[in-house]
Structure 1
Amino acid sequence: MRKILYQKEAKERLDKFLNNELLDFSRSQIQKLIKAGQIKVNDESTSVHRFLKTGDKITFEEKSQEASTIEVPDKITQPAIIAETEDYFVINKPAGLIVHPATGVKEKTLTDWLLEKYPNIRDIGENPARPGIVHRLDKEVSGLMVIAGTQRMFDYLKKQFQSHQLKKEYLGLVHGVIKTDIGQINFPLKRSKLTGKIVARPQKSEGKDAITKFEVIKRFVNYTYLKLTLLTGRTHQIRAHLQAYGYPLVGDKLYKNKKIKDKLNLDRIFLHSAVLGFNDLNEGRQEFNLDLPEDLQNILNSTV
């Protein structure tokens, strides 16, 4: 349940107001939600023609596409260990594996796998639910992650993340043909008060600063294959940025353009963490590279 308080002095029509708040919904979709009773004002069903006044409380109940309760067998999709030292280890997280427990999720997570394989990291970090975990990948995203094996390394990795010293590059396939060879998306990111989704706001100044660089690797008839570099590490940054830029990722059911029909039938997001670089405790630079997994490579081959 999402709530928002209408604080403007001037009256404004409900659907028009929400059209500026729910950037991931079209105005016609908002009108349908109002008519269906999913959007209420002062806990009462209302009309799309209603004019809001100061103090009105709007509520929106939407079933989450990513946080629904899921029951799965106890068997965990196994990550692959790329490198292992006393201070850290680098893994290849498969798509479909959640990094850490979340509300409403009952399936096994990367955290479960970590504690089974490395029980000594249980107390490393700042949150017992995320032992040794400094950064994360979304469930349907695959690729490289670094896990701290000691508290000292955890603190050092965290410092590198905060100062943008870590190198993080992704490979992604988007809908549409991007004509610019190299570009940068600087849209601030803000969580929608009603949907809970991260929204990129090209014309808005509020929100957290977020920077994503992209470079075209190859263009297809209806798609573009990109190298994406994160200069900041916000939640859903690449996904929200590309949607707002007009070129959503193939397979992304949450951050998609309603007008685009996904004809590739990919059951995950075409986004892969391919390069990860950081400094170890001896100030040595470590960098790891990972090819596309077979399922994404097959999709790429089929677009030719």
Structure 2
Amino acid sequence: MPKPKTITVSKEAHNQRLDTFLSTELSLSRSQVQKMIESKQITVNGKPPKKAGGQVKEGNVIVISSHSEKSLSKKTTDRDPLMKDRETSSARASLGMTRMLTPTIIAETPDYIVIEKPTGILTHPTMAEEENTVANFIVEKYPEIKKVGDDPIRPGIVHRLDKEASGLLVIARTQKMFNHLKEQFKNRTIEKEYLALAHGKVAKDWDEINFPITRSDTADRMAARPLSVIPAKAGIQDVDSRFHGNDNGEKSAKTEFWIEQRFVNFTLLRVKIHTGRMHQIRVHLFAYNHPLVGDPLYIQKKRKHMWDEKLGRLFLHAVKLSFLDLAGERQTFESALPQELTEFLKQLS
């Protein structure tokens, strides 16, 4: 029998909404979490919560039932959410369905592997029973990783890239390396850089965005709240009027960028994130009034440009990843822009 999943609320999460907290912890939408709460698949300190919007407290013990945990990964008879069913994959291919996208191995050591994730695939499965994810690929190629990590649907995975983004990811092959990487992320000593193409002419050659981030109150996306500015006067986009800043669910976030190249109506940015919030670069640049090209979620409909449709994907690529290995030596990896992004830039020149 699969064991229930147990989460203890940290000091950092104190006073967050229950559904907001769990949506982040489980990588689910708030609506999905709310359905789980309504069906009494979740308990807080041994009791079903009265409402999804109640606040969690430091030290609360939250349990997700084994039935719910099973649905979070994949509904397979052997409770194996990550091993692909080859017959199913073959059947999909024979029916002319979407091809399986495959990550590229950049580096391989006994302790970790570094991959390049293509756009269009998730880092790990969610409730939708996806087969084509980085986690599926990793476990099929390196079965030992299945036992590494804190969550069976995220084996060896210590950080994520959005489905629409591409670029570098490090995956731990051992529990020791997993804990080592996790500690580095906690201490913010891992360095990550991205190339992102933004709409409009970004005025500053360098800037830092420090808007706190939380989930939108009614939409399955994140929201950022500019600090101490009046959006209309400061030129900052009020990202979402449904930002629930009064429930203490917001988290600090810091994004730094430099101008890489300027185009007539676009700006190529080199971006460095100092925190790892969900959709951080996308929501920060949207709030900064320069949304990313090709972003289907964080863009005003009236600003949607033909170039967004022409590109056909999000222009966000993780180009650099640097961390300490178990020997304490810094390992740095770089990734060139995919061909479709370089070709797109040529059209803008």
Bin of the TM-score, shorter chain as denominator length: 0.7 to 0.9
Q: Which residue of 1 aligns with 2:23?
A: none
* 1:86 maps to which of 86, 110, 119: 110
Spell out structure 1 runs of 4+ moving beyond 3 A. Answer: 71-75, 203-206
Correspondences of 1:1-304 after superposition (within 5 Å): 73=92, 76-203=100-227, 207-264=250-307, 265-304=310-349
Q: How far did residue 80 of structure 1 move?
A: 0.8
Considering fraction of residues, name the structure with more strand: 1
Let me know the Cα RMSD of the aligned residues. 1.8
List gaps (5 residues or longer) in structure 2.
Answer: 1-87, 94-98, 229-244
Distance 2:304 2:277 in 1: 27
Cα distance per residue 1:33-82 (max 9 Å; x no partner)? xxxxxxxxxxxxxxxxxxxxxxxxxxxxxxxxxxxxxx994653111111
Distance 1:188 1:225 in 2: 24
Q: How far did residue 107 of structure 1 move?
A: 4.1
Q: Which residue of 1 aligns with 2:52?
A: none
Could you tell me whether the CA contact under 8 Å between 1:251 and 1:268 is conserved in 2?
yes
Q: Which residue of 1 aligns with 2:36?
A: none
Could you tell me whether the CA contact under 8 Å between 1:243 and 1:257 is conserved in 2?
no
Could you tell me whether the CA contact under 8 Å between 1:76 and 1:109 is conserved in 2?
no
Distance 1:116 1:106 in 2: 15
Q: How far did residue 108 of structure 1 move?
A: 1.7
Report the secondary structure of 1:190's partner residue: strand
Report the secondary structure of 2:302's partner residue: coil
Report the secondary structure of 1:215's partner residue: strand
Distance 1:77 1:240 in 2: 26
Q: How far did residue 105 of structure 1 move?
A: 4.7
Q: Which residue of 2 aligns with 1:47?
A: none
Q: How far did residue 106 of structure 1 move?
A: 3.2
Could you tell me whether the CA contact under 8 Å between 1:187 and 1:210 is conserved in 2?
yes
Question: Identity, % of aligned pairs?
Answer: 48
Q: How far did residue 257 of structure 1 move?
A: 2.2
Cα distance per residue 1:149-204 (max 9 Å; x no partner)? 10000000000001110000000001000010000000000101211311011147
Distance 1:226 1:80 in 2: 24
Report the secondary structure of 1:122's partner residue: helix
Report the secondary structure of 2:311's partner residue: coil
Aligned residues: 235
Cα distance per residue 1:111-153 (max 9 Å; x no partner)? 1111110001111000000000000001111100000010000
